[in-house]
């Protein structure tokens, strides 16, 4: 059974206020064994907007759901036209201070692992190893019919050939690599099939309304069980796919610290929420701990 998409969350009770003191982050990182759980907020400084922060994409954009994508060719045409255009910008994004600080903590043996809800590959580009991509990655494509997995860059080449001159100006870029285009701008876009079986291609990401593979969830649960603390970076924890690991940690008595400007669905489970910019905060923490950020 697929989960119903959870696109927004509004607090129903007073939450602990955020702090501007980064000391809780310093303390958990100093102790080592930190499991990082990152969300879209860590990539905003790389030019990729988040979903729910101030000016987040959900104020103007409803993400494609799995049910819509598999429901018919018009939805897939709309998705691939917008995603193909967005990929050009998305693929040029580079790691920022936050990604580089997380990678530096890993190099110094301070991390138990990294779980990211993002599909941008920026943690790996910054040098983090063994990142669990909870929601998959936009740099891969999977066939829904035969299961073949291929490189996004190859699909991009094929879509360029099938759509010469396709170069509309998008209104904005979204965290899932989807560019905002009108129906008129996507009309006539040609979608290409799987080269193996002629089936339907989908980015190898978990859409809203789709479940995270069970083995991936279990891998994340193992990381939570082995961690001394959980450090949430730039996630509102609105969707259960990430929140469940914070709940697991809290139930086990594992400290949770959140760095996010706005309140999150996990605030009541956390020892502290630090309402500061991620890149600046993590860089300052690295300096306090004498960790060189490359």
> Which residue from 207, 202, 175, 177 is spatially nearest to 5, judged by alpha carbons?
207
41 marked as binding residue: yes
Helix/strand/coil (H/E/C) assignment for every residue in 65-78: EHHHHHHCHHHHHH
13 marked as binding residue: no
59 marked as binding residue: yes
50 marked as binding residue: yes
56 marked as binding residue: yes
83 marked as binding residue: no
220 marked as binding residue: no
Q: Clarify whether 99 is annotated catalytic.
A: no
150 marked as binding residue: no
38 marked as binding residue: no
Active-site entry in 61, 84, 123, 135: 135
53 marked as binding residue: yes
Helix/strand/coil (H/E/C) assignment for every residue in 82-139: HHHHHHHHHCCCCCCHHHHHHHHHHHCCCEEEEEECCCCCHHHHHCCCCCEECCEEEE
Calculate helix-pair angle for 278-288, 97-107, nearest 10 degrees.
30
229 marked as binding residue: no
CA distances from 280 to 103, 269, 273, 287, 293 (A): 15, 25, 16, 11, 12
Q: Are strands 149-151 and 136-143 parallel, antiparallel or unpaired?
A: antiparallel
Tokens at 288, concatenated? 């306090």
Tell me how far apart the alpha carbons of residues 229 and 163 are, in angstroms, rounded to a whole number: 49
Positions marked catalytic: 135
Residues in the annotated binding site for NAD(+): 39-59, 117-120, 234-236, 278
Residues in the annotated binding site for Zn(2+): 143, 146, 194, 197
């Amino acid at each position: 059974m697929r989960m119903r998409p959870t696109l927004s969350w509004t607090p129903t009770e007073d939450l602990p206020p955020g702090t501007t003191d980064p000391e809780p982050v310093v303390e958990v990182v100093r102790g080592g064994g930190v499991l990082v759980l990152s969300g879209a907020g860590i990539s905003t400084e790389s030019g990729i907007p988040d979903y729910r922060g101030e000016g987040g994409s959900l104020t103007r954009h409803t993400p494609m759901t799995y049910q819509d994508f598999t429901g018919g060719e018009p939805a897939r045409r709309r998705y691939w036209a917008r995603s193909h255009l967005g990929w050009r910008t998305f693929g040029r994004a580079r790691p920022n201070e936050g990604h580089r600080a997380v990678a530096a903590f890993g190099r110094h043996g301070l991390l138990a692992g990294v779980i990211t809800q993002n599909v941008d590959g920026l943690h790996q580009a910054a040098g983090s190893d063994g990142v669990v991509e909870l929601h998959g990655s936009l740099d891969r494509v999977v066939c829904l019919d035969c299961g073949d997995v291929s490189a996004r860059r190859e699909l991009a080449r094929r879509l360029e050939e099938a759509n010469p001159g396709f170069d509309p100006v998008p209104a904005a870029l979204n965290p899932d690599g989807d560019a905002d285009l009108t129906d008129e701008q996507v009309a006539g876009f040609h979608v290409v099939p799987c080269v193996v079986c002629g089936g339907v291609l989908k980015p190898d990401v978990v859409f809203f309304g789709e479940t995270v593979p069970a083995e991936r969830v279990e891998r994340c649960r193992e990381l939570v069980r082995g961690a001394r603390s959980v450090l949430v970076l730039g996630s509102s924890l609105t969707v259960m796919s990430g929140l469940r690991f914070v709940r697991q940690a809290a139930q086990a008595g594992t400290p949770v610290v959140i760095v996010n400007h706005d309140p999150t669905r996990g605030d009541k489970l956390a020892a502290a929420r630090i309402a500061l910019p991620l890149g600046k905060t993590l860089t300052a923490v690295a300096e306090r701990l004498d960790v060189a950020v490359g």
